[in-house]
């Protein structure tokens, strides 16, 4: 099974936007690790939004 291309682009853009990592650095991550970063960034964003 392949990972949906649109979802992959979304994850890469999200991590790149927040961490300023290169495309190669992000694509070198195993999928579960990349998803974990996406999830953690989301938690940080929600927490910061609640503090405003």
| Contact call for residues 12 and 27 (beta carbons, < 8 A) | yes
Q: How far apart are the first and last CA of the chain?
A: 41
Mean pLDDT by 10 residues, the chain (52 residues): 82 95 95 95 95 88
Q: What is the pTM of this model?
A: 0.82
Domain spans of the chain?
5-51
């Amino acid at each position: 099974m392949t990972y949906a291309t649109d979802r992959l682009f979304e994850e890469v853009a999200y991590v790149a936007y927040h961490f300023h990592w290169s495309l190669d650095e992000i694509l070198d991550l195993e999928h579960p690790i990349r998803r974990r970063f996406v999830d953690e960034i989301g938690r940080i964003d929600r927490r910061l939004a609640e503090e405003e």
